[in-house]
Amino acid sequence: MTEPLRLGIAGLGTVGVGVVKIVRQQAALLELRTGRKIEISAVSARTKGRDRGVSLSGYAWEDDPVALATRDDVDVFVELIGGDVGPAKDATEAALKAGKDVITANKAMLAMHGQALAELAEEKGAVLRYEAAVAGGIPVIKTLMEGLAGNEITRVMGVMNGSCNYILTRMEDSGKTYQEIFAEADGLGYLEADPQLDVGGIDAAHKLAIISAIAFGTRVDFDGIQLEGIERVSIEDIRAAADMGYKIKLLGVTQMTGRGLEQRMQPCLVPETSPLAQLNGGTNMIVIEGNAVEQIVLRGPGAGEGPTASAVMADVCDIARGARGTVFGQPAKTLVASQAALSKSPAPYYLRMALVDKPGALAKIATVLGEAGVSIDRMRQYEHAEPSAPVLIVTHKTTQAALDQALAAMDGTGVMAGAPVALRIEEV
């Protein structure tokens, strides 16, 4: 008879409790689907006596997650502590060194130390899985590594942070400012203890770095991501973008170009008819493009107890079935150091500006754009009562360098009533 698969769970927050619930409530179904009983041997957390809404009396307790990771009665160490250094990393390394399989939801740890952990796991013959680290309940890791293994991936993009998507869609629906909706999201508990991880795009960029490694066979390179959060997105931009047929999303994009690996996490405009534009609230969406499959769209909850615990259990079930494999889809030592693209691929841009209301102002701006090689696709000037005239411009495809040249030259025209806003338009 096959021996049970024994789990040691470190971290009993929202996700850890969710895993405990699934193991208990779905025990019979899990055994039918994997051919093996799945049990919890021991657990660890910072506070033992806390009421978590689920009994832990049947499990051994370890105060130290490193001790949990190396217990003889633990086959799979489930790391749900979080943080790229400290107990999470120490315990993960201890488990791998002991030859134990590891499942983690820790995107920060993988984004910063993924290459070293992958090499350690493969050296020890251990499995390191992390479906829950990217996009919550969406099986994007399994899709890239298994379902699309026969494809040369050309581009992956998506909305990878539900909190930012909530803020942007609530601004659109309510007409309230970024500051007002930020306070609302924080009050509802939608933001991390350090909100900059969310609104600064850092959380989503961790996920993008992991996706890039799998998609393009490169070493995880978080530092190579061009990163910008949503703090400067105004309600005026959301209204103006809608008027021009677009929605604003914090969009992660990774693609291999002739200039190198392009990794971007930044606010972008997407066409209002695209799947990404229809995404509301805290939901995530990943769009994957491959040479054989063309384009697929994955949509679902990006966080929360059930969705993230579901992703953890997907990895548990794979291990229970005997599935092994490399960490990033190919041997870690064959992953190449990525060469960051020196420039972004050409794209159309949205420009919003306020011009001094006097004859010839708009002509001067058009001249500056033309001299930089930036051509205008559409332009709109609104009725106004204030001294400055609001103007929207959508350009044809252009390079970031040409756009930067034009924006710098605008300062010397004498017709700008404020700093212009420029946002990339991503073709979907």
Over residues 269-282, the pLDDT tens digits come to 999 999 999 999 88
Which CATH code fits 140-301? 3.30.360.10
pLDDT at 186 over 70: yes
C-alpha angle 360-366-369 in degrees, rounded to nearest 5:
145
CATH topology assigned to domain 5-133: Rossmann fold (3.40.50)
Q: Which residue has the tokens 């979907």?
A: 428
Q: 139-143: long-range contacts (C-beta < 8 A, 24 or more apart)?
A: 139/298, 139/311, 139/314, 140/211, 140/286, 140/288, 140/298, 141/210, 141/214, 142/314, 143/288, 143/296, 143/298
**Predicted TM-score (pTM) above 0.85:** yes
pLDDT cut 70: percent of the chain above it: 99
Strand pairing category for 5-10 and 349-356: unpaired
pLDDT for residue 385: 66
- Give the number of other CB atoms < 10 A from CB of residue 111: 25
The reported pLDDT for the residue numbered 381 is 86
Asked if residue 171 has pLDDT above 60, the reply is yes
Question: Does the pLDDT of residue 289 top 80, yes or no?
Answer: yes
Distance in angstroms (rounded) separating the CA atoms of residues 49 and 222: 37
- Residue 31 reports pLDDT greater than 80: yes
Residue 38 has pLDDT above 90, yes or no: yes
Length of the chain: 428
Structural domain spans, the chain: 5-133, 140-301, 349-425
Residue 1 pLDDT > 60, yes or no? Answer: no
Give the C-alpha separation, 104 to 44, whole Å.
Answer: 14
Residue 382 — pLDDT band, cuts 50, 70, 90? Answer: confident
* pLDDT number for residue 2: 83
Segment 120-161, tens digit of pLDDT:
999 999 999 999 999 999 999 999 999 999 999 999 999 999
Domains 140-301 and 349-425 share a fold: no
Q: Kind of pairing, strands 153-159 and 226-227?
A: unpaired
Query: C-alpha angle with apex 46: 71 to 100, nearest 5 degrees?
Result: 25
Q: Which CATH architecture has domain 349-425?
A: 2-Layer Sandwich (3.30)
- From residue 119, alpha-carbon distances to 60, 96, 208, 211 in Å are 31, 10, 20, 18
Instruction: Taking residues 405-425, report their average pLDDT.
Output: 94
pLDDT at residue number 343: 79
Give me the active site residues, please.
207
What's the mean pLDDT when you consider all of the chain?
95
Residue 422: other Cβ atoms inside 10 A:
17
